[in-house]
Amino acid sequence: MNKKSMIGMGLGVWLVATGTAFGQGLDESEGGKAKEKTVEVTGQSAIFNNNTPAAKDAAIEQALRTAVEQTVGTFVSSESRVENFQLLDDRIYTKSRGYIRKYDVLSESPDGNVLSVKIRAVVAVGKLKGDLDSLTALWARKGKPKFMLLIVEQNLITNTVVYWWYGGARGVHSASVDMNITENTLIDKMSEKGFPFVDHRVLGGKLKIPKAFRMERVDDDAAAKIAKLTDAQIVIVGKALARSGGTVPGSEGQMKSAQALISARVVNTDDGKVLGAVTENAAAVHIDPAVAGTEALKKAAEAAAEKLGEKIGDAWQKETTTSATILLKATGVSDYKLVTGLVALLGTLRGVKSVNERLTENETSTIDVSSTTPASGLAAELADKAIEGKKVKVTGTTTNSITVKFE
C-alpha cells in the first residue's frame, strides 16, 4: 500500500485501542468507577544562572506531565501511544496540570547543574478518561473525513508559481528547487496528528481537472468542487509566498535571508462551511537564496500545520457538543405539501433543534437542519418514511449533508 494512502490509519487503531482498554489497572472508588490515581514520579531540569527556584518549577512541570503520561498508559497500549504521540501531546499532555487534583513534593536532589524533584501526584482519572473518550467520539462522529490541499506556492526568489491543479509550474528556472515544499510539509505535519490526506500525485492521470478550475485564485466553491473529484470531504485552500530578505548584515555579503508568508483556510466540501483560517510567517538564512526561501516556506508551513490542527479540532469539538447545521437537499418535490411535511417530520427527529427551509424551486428543496444527531443518524431515521403518499428515499449522506428523493 502506498505510504500516503496509509496516512491516518494509526489513529483508527488508537481509537479502537482506547475504546477497549479504558478502566484497566486503575484504583476503584465508589460506584465501581475509577476517579483518582496516585503516582510517584520524578522530573528534572537544568539549573541556569544559579536560578534554582526556576529549575524547581520546570522539574515539577515535567513530573506532572510524566504523571499524566503514566496514567494514560493504563488506558492505551504503548504501540498506540507511540503511533499517536502528536495527537496525545496536543490534546492531553500539554494540559497536564488540568488533570492533577493535587501534588506534594517528596524530595529535591541537585546534581551539578541538574535538579531532580520527586512528587506524589493525584491524577483526576475521571476527567482524563473523559477527555480521551471525547477524542474517540470526536473522530468517530466526524467519520474521519479525508483532506485535500489546494495551496498556491509562489517563490519570488526563483520566479516560480506552482499549483498542481494547473498542471505544472509557471516560470520555473531551477529544477533544484522543491516546488512542493509547502504541501509536503503540511501533509507530513498534519498526518502526524492523524489527519488523512488524499494525495493527488497518487491518483495520477485519473484526476481530470476541468479547465474552468485551472486558475491561481480559487474561491471556496471551486475549491470544494475540485476536492470532491478526489472524494475528499475537507479542503485546505490558500497561498504560500517566499521573497528575498536581502543580505544578512555582518555576513560580508555571503548569507542571504528569505521571508515566507502562508495563509490558509479549511473548508467543508459538502456545505462550504469554513472551519478555521490561519496566517503564519517565518524567516530563514542560507548562503543560497533559493534554499533560504525553501527553508522559510517549510518553517511557515510547520507553524500553519500546528494552528490548522488546533482550529479543526476546536471546530469539531464545538460541533459535537452543540448542534451542527446539516444541509438537506430533497428532489422530486412535485407538491409544496411535501416540503411542509418534510419540515414537520424533521422537527420530530431525535436531536433536531430547528429546521429552516432555505429554497424551493424546480422540484428541489434545500433545508437547513440544526441537530445534535449526526447526518448519518438523521438519514437512518428519514429512510423510507412516507409523506403525502410519497416515500422518502435517502440517496446520499456526508458528514454535513443529506440528499433525499421523493418517490
Cell numbers representing residue 191 in the block: 498526518
CATH code at 4-142: 3.30.1660.40
Strand arrangement, sheet containing 168-170: 168-170, 160-163, 147-155, 234-247, 256-268, 274-286
Per the model's pLDDT, the better-predicted residue between 166 and 205 turns out to be 166
DSSP, collapsed to helix, strand or coil, labels residue 290 as helix
The domains of the chain are located at 4-142, 147-317, 324-406
76-90: string of b/e by CB count within 10 Å (b at 16+)?
A: beeebbebbebbbeb
Mean per-residue pLDDT over the chain, rounded: 78
Q: What pLDDT digit, counting tens, does each position of 10-48 carry?
A: 333 333 333 333 333 344 343 334 578 899 999 999 898
- Residue showing cell 417530520: 345
The reply to whether 4-142 and 324-406 are identical in fold is no
Q: Looking at the domain 324-406, which fold is it?
A: Alpha-Beta Plaits (3.30.70)
In 3D space, the residue among 280, 282, 270 whose CA is nearest the CA of residue 309 turns out to be 280
Q: What pLDDT digit, counting tens, does each position of 292-316 carry?
A: 999 999 999 999 998 898 888 778 8
Q: Worst-scoring range by mean pLDDT, 77-91, 179-193, 197-211?
A: 77-91
pLDDT band at 70 (very low <50, low <70, confident <90, very high): confident
Cβ-Cβ contacts under 8 Å for 57 (sequence gap 6 or more)? 45
Measured CA to CA, the distance from residue 111 to residue 45 in angstroms comes to 10
Q: What pLDDT digit, counting tens, does each position of 46-60 carry?
A: 898 888 988 898 899
Q: Looking at the domain 147-317, which fold is it?
A: Rossmann fold (3.40.50)
Please give the full DSSP string across 53-121, using - where no structure is assigned.
HHHHHHHHHHHHHHHHHHHHTTTS-HHHHHHTHHHHHHHTGGGGGGGEEEEEEEEEEEETTEEEEEEEE
In 3D space, the residue among 131, 123, 96 whose CA is nearest the CA of residue 18 turns out to be 131
- Return phi, psi of residue 9, to 5°: -65, -30
Per the model's pLDDT, the better-predicted residue between 143 and 105 turns out to be 105
Q: Are strands 274-286 and 390-397 parallel, antiparallel or unpaired?
A: unpaired
